Structure 1
Amino acid sequence: MQLDTYTRVSLVMELVKKTDDQGNRIILKRYRGRVFHKDIPGNVGDQLEKVENLQCRPDDVLLCTFPKSGTHWVYNMTRMLQTKRIQYGGALNMIEFEDISAFDHVKSPRLFSTHLTYPFIPKAAKKGDLKLIYVLRNPKDVVCSYFTYMDRIECTSYIGNFDGFLKSFLTEETISCGGSWFTHTREWNSAIRDNPDLQVLLLQYESLKKDLYKNLQKIASFLEIDHDEKFLRTVESTVSFQSLKTLHGTRAGENRLYINYGDNGRLPIYNKGKGLNLIKTFCIVYCFLWVLSPSLYVLSATLIDSLETLSTCLACLQVVRIWMLGFFVVFFFFFFFFFFFVVHFFIIYVFSCCF
C-alpha cells in the first residue's frame, strides 16, 4: 500500500489513510508503532492511559476479544448470568471507545468489553483484581465476518474488495486495537501462560457453537454464580442466533456510540446463517476439486488405457473394462458436480467409443 495521506496529530499518534494499487482504502491510527481503530476518541495515548488506570471493583468482569470473535454473543450470555436476568444488551461498554469516567456511575456488577491487545488492558486486570473472559475464534472466519461487517457500515475504516482486506488482515497494518489477529492471539496466550495473577477464562468460539450449554456452565462456575439448569437452558435458547438477531432488531440493539455507522447505531453483527455456511462449503469443495481435477483426469485416463491394453490381449477382461468405465462415471458424478461430471463423462465416453 502507498501512503496517500499522512496527518500528524501529536508526537506519538498519527492518523493514516492508505490506498493500495487496486484502490482499496484503509484508515487507522498509529501509536508508538501499533495500529488502532480510527474511532478511538482523541489521542490514542491519552485514551489508553485512562484505560490503564480504570478503577475496577472485585466483581467486575472484562470480556476480551479480537473483533468479530463473538463479542456481542458472549457479552449477552455473560451479562444474563451475571445479573440473573434475561435481558438483551446492545451497548457493550467498550472501554477503548467510551468515556472512562462514565463507568464510575455504573452499578455493580459491571461487565466491560475490549478488543485491545493484552499490553493495553487495565493494570488492575493484570494484577488479578477482576475477572477476564478471553474468546478465541478461527482467523478464516474472523476475516470473512470482519470484511462483511466493514462493507455494511457507514463511515467505515475500509473501502475496497475482499482481496485487499485479506492482504491487510495478514499484516500489522490492519484495523485493530493494538495489533493484528496474530499479535492479539500471541500476546494474550503468552499472558495467560506467564502471568499467574490473571483470573481468566479461555473460551473458543467453535466450542461455544458445538456445546453452548457446557460453556454456559463454565462461565457460571468461573463467575462463582449458582444457576439451576432451567435458568441456564433459558439463557441458552435466548442467545441463539435467531433470537439475538430478532432482539437486535429492536430498540435494544441501538447504541448512540455508533450512530454514525447508520441504522440508529445498530451494528450489523448478526449476519451469519445456514445459507452462508452452504456457500462457504461449496466454495471449499469447488476449489479442492479444481486443484485435484488434473491429477484425477490423468489417473482415470491412465487406468482406462491400461484396461484397453488388457482387453485387447485378453477378451475375457471385456466385462471388467465395461464395469470400470461405469465406476468412473459414478465417481465423477459425486466429486465433480455438474461441470466436472459433464467434462469427464464426455472424455470417458470418447475413450469407450474407441475400444
Structure 2
Amino acid sequence: MAPSQPSQAKYLREDDISRKCRDLLPSLPHEKGWITPSLHQYQGFWVAPKLLNGILACQDNFQAQKTDIFIITAPKSGTTWLKAILFCLLNRAKYSGSMQQHPLLTQSPHDLVPFLELKLYFGQEIPNLTSLPPPRLFATHVPYQSLPQSVKDSGCKLVYLYRNPKDTFVSLWHFANKLRSKETGGMPLGECLDAFCQGVSPFGPFWDHAQGYHNMSLEMPDRVLFLRYEDMKEGPHGHVKRLADFLGCPFAEEELRDGTVDGIVRMCSFDSLSMLEVNKSGKLSTGQETKSYFRKGEVGDWMNYMSVEMGERIDRVMQEKMHGSGLKL
C-alpha cells in the first residue's frame, strides 16, 4: 500500500468554497471519494467539492484567447511529462543559450504550467490573467463538455494525452493513497477498481473523458491533437516534432541538426526530471510535495499490482463503453 502524507494539500480540502458551489452540492449525486470524503457528479463527471468550486469559477470567469494552449488529461495520464515538454518547446528560443538557467531545473512543471481548476481558480479570488504574454500555456483535467465556453469559442489549441486505462488506474490508486490522511488510511486496490469500473473516479468516467476529446480531435483536427502516452514513450522525438508543428512553432532545419529536439526529450525525461532536487524534496505552491508526481512512469506497470483477471475486467468495461467510438485501447 502506498504511504500516506500527514495532511491533504490545501486545494483538496473542502473548506473555502463559494456560496454558489456550496448551494449546488446538495443537489448533486455523490459517492465516496478517493482522496476527499466525497465525489460529486457535475455535468456527467465526478469531482471533489473543492475542485468543483474551481471549475465553476473557471466557467464563470475565464476568458480564453485564440493563442492559448491547453494541456488536457485524465488524472495520472502523463500530465507532468507533457507539461515539461510543451513548456520547453514553447520557450526553447528563450533558453537555448542558457540551459543552466532553465526554469525546469528549479521549478516543478506544475508550477510552470498551472492547472486552471487546481491552482488558478481554487480559492475565492479571481485571478487576472490578461497580463500573461501569449501564448499562454494552461492545463486542466476538465472534460470537454465542461470547459469554459470561451475555450470552445476562442479557437485556441488543445493537446490531449491518453494513457492505457490499466496503467492510469494503478497510478491514480497510488497517487490517491499518498494524498489521503493517516486518519482515513489507504483505499484498498479492489475498492478503487470497483469504483473505477463504475465510472466513479476523479474526473471520471475515464472512458467518457477520453472519448469526448477524441471526438473533438476528429471534428477539429486543427484545434485538438489527441496523443497516446505509449506512442510518445516509444517515439518521443517524433512526437515532440509533431507537437511543434501542431502548435505553429515547427523546428527550423538548424534546430533539427543541432540537437534541439534531443535536448528537449532528454531534459523532460522521467529520469532527468525525477532526479532534480526540486522534484525530490520541493513543494508546489499549493503545498503538495512534488515527489508525489514522480513514481515510475512505465508502460505496463499495472501488471505488478493487478491480477490478469483485474486487468481483463478493465478491458471488458472499456470495450463495452468505447464500442463504436473508433478509439482503440
- TM-score normalised per structure 1: 0.64
1:94 aligns with 2:115: yes
1:223 aligns with 2:243: no
Q: Which amino acid is the alignment partner of residue 106 of structure 1?
A: L
1:158 Cα deviation after fit: 8.6
Q: Which residue of 1 aligns with 2:47?
A: 36
Q: Is the 8 A contact 1:58 1:130 kept in 2?
A: yes
Equivalent runs, 1:174-193 vs 2, <5 Å: 174-176=201-203, 179-193=204-218
Cα deviations by residue, 1:178-223 (Å, 9 ceiling, x for unpaired): x3101111222223334x4861111110001000000000011111
Residue 165 of structure 1 is aligned with which of 192, 206, 209? Answer: 192
Q: Which residue of 1 aligns with 2:8?
A: none
Q: Which amino acid is the alignment partner of residue 193 of structure 2?
A: L
Q: Which residue of 2 aligns with 1:272?
A: 296
1:148 Cα deviation after fit: 0.7
Q: Which amino acid is the alignment partner of residue 57 of structure 2?
A: Q
1:121 Cα deviation after fit: 1.4
Q: Which residue of 2 aligns with 1:147?
A: 173
Distance 1:252 1:212, change over 3 A: farther
Q: Which amino acid is the alignment partner of residue 250 of structure 2?
A: D
Equivalent runs, 1:32-71 vs 2, <5 Å: 34-40=45-51, 42=53, 46-50=56-60, 53-71=61-79
For structure 1, the residue ranges without an aligned partner over 5 or more in a row are 1-7, 289-355
Distance 1:248 1:58, change over 3 A: farther
Q: Which amino acid is the alignment partner of residue 85 of structure 2?
A: M
Q: Is the 8 A contact 2:72 2:160 kept in 1?
A: yes
Q: Which residue of 2 aligns with 1:213?
A: 237
How many Å separate the matches in 1 of 2:161 and 2:52?
Answer: 25
Distance 1:252 1:103, change over 3 A: farther
Cα deviations by residue, 1:259-311 (Å, 9 ceiling, x for unpaired): 1x4x3xx25111116798496399659x99xxxxxxxxxxxxxxxxxxxxxxx
Which SS does the other structure have where 2:244 is aligned? helix
1:74 Cα deviation after fit: 0.5
Q: Sequence identity of aligned pairs in percent? A: 21
Q: In terms of mean alpha carbon deviation, does 95-104 or 240-249 score higher? A: 95-104
1:239 Cα deviation after fit: 1.1
Distance 1:144 1:31, change over 3 A: same
Q: Which residue of 2 aligns with 1:129?
A: 155
- Answer 1 or 2: which has greater helix percent: 1
1:13 aligns with 2:25: yes
Give the length in aligned residue pairs: 267
How many Å separate the matches in 2 of 1:270 and 1:129?
Answer: 33
How many Å separate the matches in 2 of 1:81 and 1:243?
Answer: 16
Cα deviations by residue, 1:59-94 (Å, 9 ceiling, x for unpaired): 210011100011110011011111113431331311
Which SS does the other structure have where 1:40 is aligned? helix
1:236 aligns with 2:261: no
Which SS does the other structure have where 1:173 is aligned? coil
Which SS does the other structure have where 1:103 is aligned? coil
How many Å separate the matches in 2 of 1:175 and 1:201?
Answer: 23
Distance 1:19 1:255, change over 3 A: closer
Residue 106 of structure 1 is aligned with which of 129, 132, 152? Answer: 132
Q: Which amino acid is the alignment partner of residue 175 of structure 1?
A: P
How many Å separate the matches in 2 of 1:111 and 1:273?
Answer: 23
* Larger RCO, structure (CA 8 Å, separation 6 or more): 2
How many Å separate the matches in 2 of 1:24 and 1:241?
Answer: 25
1:225 Cα deviation after fit: 1.3
How many Å separate the matches in 2 of 1:158 and 1:193?
Answer: 43
Distance 1:78 1:33, change over 3 A: closer
How many Å separate the matches in 2 of 1:131 and 1:153?
Answer: 31
For structure 2, the residue ranges without an aligned partner over 5 or more in a row are 1-18, 96-101, 313-329
Distance 1:57 1:278, change over 3 A: closer
1:16 Cα deviation after fit: 7.7
Distance 1:90 1:96, change over 3 A: closer
